[in-house]
Structure 1
């Protein structure tokens, strides 16, 4: 399921100037497809400003998200890989961002759970960090899904 969400929704870039910019760029494929509104990006950024870097779920990996009523048009997910880490509040380095946008809380929890179960495995995290393009990213996710 995760691999299907990520097809056509991934970016691989060298670096960003701020953690806010990382969320904006990570969300761009979803904005372009009208799956989310700009309001959703602002809500994700505000979440971090108010609640801290709770979205950094494991070292170097963040899952920006906001509540389902903040401009989600279609359940979706996007991915951003940075070659150079960006620093989130609390001095958390992040290289991988998985943006979650869901229309309801049940789907939100299912996607969080699916992604969390993948990221528990150290080998999978390393493979994701070394992915050079969307094809490699999807291949790694599909390995785990099968």
Structure 2
């Protein structure tokens, strides 16, 4: 396992979460135009705009789009790309001793497996729907890949 640990939240953790949210805001200029209300944590599917990730719910919608057209393939790619980008950014800016999750290395977590796990986790964590997408992904990663449980 790749060691990505840290026992307690700190100011660097708060900075990281703020940086992830800021990165998500920069990457999604249509953020202020969210017409998708998820007040009750409802994960019922609503086809999102292909470029709008306004909440964890809107990311989830892209991850679960269920048809075989080019828009769906684009949504799945955006889901995986957003997810992968957040992980890459987190690993780049967080010192190894401060990291809060450990990703499996043998075998490594595939993109599709990560997306599938994220979708399953979202279905059992409806409170995440209204969070910023970056925070929902971070919560998913820390819940599913904690360093202490991985032995990393």
Whether the TM-score (by the shorter chain) exceeds 0.5 is no
The structure having more radius of gyration, on CA atoms, is 2
1 or 2 for the larger relative contact order (CA 8 Å, sep ≥6)? 2
Q: Which has the higher strand share?
A: 1
TM-score by length of 2: 0.30
Q: Which has the higher helix share?
A: 2
TM-score by length of 1: 0.31
